[in-house]
Amino acid sequence: MHPTRRTLLASALAMPFIGTRAHAQGVPTRPITILVPFAAGGGTDIIGRLIADGMARDLGQSVVVENVTGAGGTIAAARVAQSRPDGQTLLIHHIGLAAAATLYRQLPFNIERSLAPLGLVSHTGMAIVARPDFPARDLPSYLAVMREQGDRLNLGHAGLGGSNQLCGMLLQAAAGRNATTIVYRGSAPAMTEMMAGRLDISCDQATIAAPFARDGRIKAFAVTTTERIPGFDVPTAREQGVDLVMSAWHGLYAAAGTPPEIQQRLAQAMRAAMREDRLRQRYAETLTTTATDEEATPEYHTRFLASEITRLRPLIVAAGQFAD
């Protein structure tokens, strides 16, 4: 049967409507690239690849991961900030992005104005730890030793802007006195030195510290989460009367100016990825928790990023430690 003029006209009228609806849904039209600002195999890379896989399934198109390292993650962030605002180039970054707003005084972009936060992805708590023979029984006595010994204690971290360096700043602020800082090439050598008794104190991700603390090779005195971490039965700082809360959180970003409908569609795909059993199982293995549905939105993430920048700025300025 040949189509009638009425059928052809109806089809022609329907075609623009179909295209408009696809655009309104905010589905990116080409493969999406998520930039990971750190080396392959690290925590951010693992989280980025899990999110990319889940988003690809939800969007029905390719989502690839590209590692763009250097300058504390700001090279990758600059590339996204300066990319076309179409949702095709994204960034996954951790708390270090909030620190970079102060650590780097000559960035070629503005972290709050040049990036569009899409939602938080995860939280990894920090563990306040010390060498095996450290003379403290709990966090208050730990801080008392810090106040008493001051710069005679060595505090280890893995470089400016890292979660352990930022947690170390908060720890020193809580003690009201600074220790002598030693910078290591990663958490692993710092843990080795601590087990040998040559490094006194540190504040590192629970994922890293827990295996050594469980068998007594180092001492864990507190975690910086609001609740105890399942699988790592250490009291929180707040339980012990110390208001020290921090997580090595991760979030997803697009370029500022990305249309709201595309931002919302990407955030929706991100949340779908976060609900997958594969991701939740991997998170549990690494003592990482999934961000809540409220946290995994552009609106919440925007407010949270601004609050973290505000919280970290005076600590960094007071320390006088800048990356440039």
The pLDDT tens digits for 82-92 are 999 999 999 99
**What's the mean pLDDT in 20-31?**
59
**What's the mean pLDDT in 294-305?**
98
Structural domain boundaries of the chain? Answer: 31-123+247-319, 126-240
Please indicate whether the domains covering 31-123+247-319 and 126-240 agree at the CATH topology level.
yes
* Residue 84, phi then psi, degrees to nearest 5: -65, 135
- Mean of the per-residue pLDDT values of the chain: 91
Provide the 10 A C-beta neighbour count for residue 233.
11
pLDDT at residue 26, as a whole number: 65
Paired residues of 33 in beta bridges: 64, 89
List, in sequence order, every beta strand (DSSP E) within the chain.
Answer: 32-36, 63-67, 89-94, 115-124, 126-130, 154-157, 180-183, 201-205, 219-223, 250-255, 288-290
What tokens does 263 get? 């931002």
Provide the 10 A C-beta neighbour count for residue 234.
24
pLDDT(1) > 70? no
Question: What's the pLDDT band for 8 if we cut at 50, 70, 90?
Answer: very low
DSSP state of 151: G
Structure-model confidence comparison of residues 190 and 41, the more confident one:
190
The string of pLDDT tens digits covering residues 215-274 is 999 999 999 999 999 999 999 999 999 999 999 999 999 999 999 999 999 999 999 999
pLDDT at residue 18, as a whole number: 32
Query: Which pTM value belongs to this model?
Result: 0.86
pLDDT(19) > 70? no
The string of pLDDT tens digits covering residues 103-158 is 999 999 999 999 999 999 999 999 999 999 999 999 999 999 999 999 999 999 98
pLDDT at residue 61, as a whole number: 93
pLDDT at residue 304, as a whole number: 98
At the topology level, CATH places domain 31-123+247-319 in D-Maltodextrin-Binding Protein; domain 2 (3.40.190)
pLDDT at residue 28, as a whole number: 74
Paired residues of 126 in beta bridges: 205
CATH 1.20.120.530 fits 126-240, yes or no: no
**What's the mean pLDDT in 145-174?**
94
pLDDT at residue 303, as a whole number: 98
- Pairing mode, strands 201-205 and 154-157: parallel
**What's the mean pLDDT in 45-52?**
95
**CA-closest candidate to residue 45, choices 85, 71, 73:** 73
